[in-house]
Amino acid sequence: MKKVFASLLGAVALTVAASASAGVSKAYWATSGMFGPFPINGLIPSIPADQVRDVTIPVSMWIVEHDKGIVLVDTGNNIAITEGCEAYWNKGTCDFMKPNQTKDTTITGWLKKLGYKNEDVRVVITSHTHLDHMGNMKSFPNAIHAIQKAELYQGWWPETFQGRTGEPPFVRKDIEGTQMFNFLELKGDYDVFGDGSVVILSTPGHTLGHQSVQVTMDSGNRILLAQDAIWMQENLDGHPAGLNFSVQEYTNSVNRLKFMRDLQGIPLFMGHDENQWKAGGDRWYR
Ligand SMILES: [Zn+2]
Ligand SMILES: [Zn+2]
């Protein structure tokens, strides 16, 4: 009897421990201003001429509330372009992308709007080192920065065909000064808190070490944040992005996420899809 009672107590203790360490309560889909309008084939050259249209696209960032602290998935365009694009990016990039980021739509602006401070951010997950995803790492000097080790190499030394001179899509100024940050340098998938709530998925191809994120919320609902592994619907329709380190690896990563969506039933969120943002952006997911 004594033994039964002791094991019952054990079960109660376990239950309490499980509920005390809840994981993610909610996740917010934000955007670092918008890009565009510009013709879609500027990004996806294989779109047939009769399907070319102008698009105005979001620059997706996610703010995830975990009981151990806020997790960011990407930090958007550098805050400096709010004051004038050409002060920070080169003219060609500004003319094509037409960024309209304001102070309120920087990552710091969104955090403030949702009631947080930069200091509340425990982990910054950077999908990749392109200018519209890692622009504000330096606003979070005390956070843990989770990134693929290969992507750090890519950010510091891009291929010559992708901007080694420090101009877009890799902006040297974004990464300079971060050498001694607290990096969680990854090679492959990683369960950030060990509770399955925030799982980094290796999805290379767009860049050498691109990563996506699966979030499982307390409700049991899951979301899959592709970021630039899949820019927009047209990529799912078989038209690859026009900017890739490796088209073969890119295709494998698109398929990895697509099959997670189709076989596991997880809603898939793309990095830059105009219509998906219109339908479901600027809101909490629980
Ligand atoms: Zn990118
Ligand atoms: Zn992007």
CA distance 126 to 184: 11
For residue 12, pLDDT over 80 is answered with no
C-alpha distance from residue 218 to each of 11, 94, 234, 256 (Å): 21, 41, 32, 24
CA distance 229 to 63: 19
pLDDT for the residue 168: 87
Cα of 243 vs centre of ligand 2, distance in Å, is 10
User: Which ligand is the nearest neighbour of the Cα of 35?
Assistant: 2
pLDDT for the residue 196: 97
For residues 124-139, give the mean pLDDT: 98
Cα of 127 vs centre of ligand 1, distance in Å, is 9
For residues 229-245, give the mean pLDDT: 96
User: Which ligand is the nearest neighbour of the Cα of 129?
Assistant: 1
For residue 17, pLDDT over 90 is answered with no
Give per-residue pLDDT as tens, 62-80.
999 999 999 999 999 999 9
Confidence of residue 18 (pLDDT cuts 50, 70, 90): very low
Give per-residue pLDDT as tens, 68-126.
999 999 999 999 999 999 999 999 999 999 999 999 999 999 999 999 999 999 999 99
Cα of 219 vs centre of ligand 1, distance in Å, is 31
User: Which ligand is the nearest neighbour of the Cα of 168?
Assistant: 1
Q: Residues of the chain with pLDDT > 90: what percent?
A: 89
Say if residues 280 and 58 touch (Cβ distance below 8 Å). no
Give per-residue pLDDT as tens, 140-165.
999 999 999 999 999 999 999 888 88
pLDDT for the residue 192: 98
Give per-residue pLDDT as tens, 204-225.
999 999 999 999 999 999 999 9
- Name the token pair of 218: 């307390």
pLDDT for the residue 21: 56
For residues 264-280, give the mean pLDDT: 98
Say if residues 161 and 121 touch (Cβ distance below 8 Å). no
Give per-residue pLDDT as tens, 20-48.
458 999 999 999 999 999 999 999 999 99
pLDDT for the residue 19: 47
Tell me the residue type at 166. G
Cα of 59 vs centre of ligand 2, distance in Å, is 6
Cα of 109 vs centre of ligand 1, distance in Å, is 22
Cα of 35 vs centre of ligand 1, distance in Å, is 13
Predicted TM-score of the model (pTM): 0.92
Q: Which of residues 16 and 252 earns the better pLDDT score?
A: 252
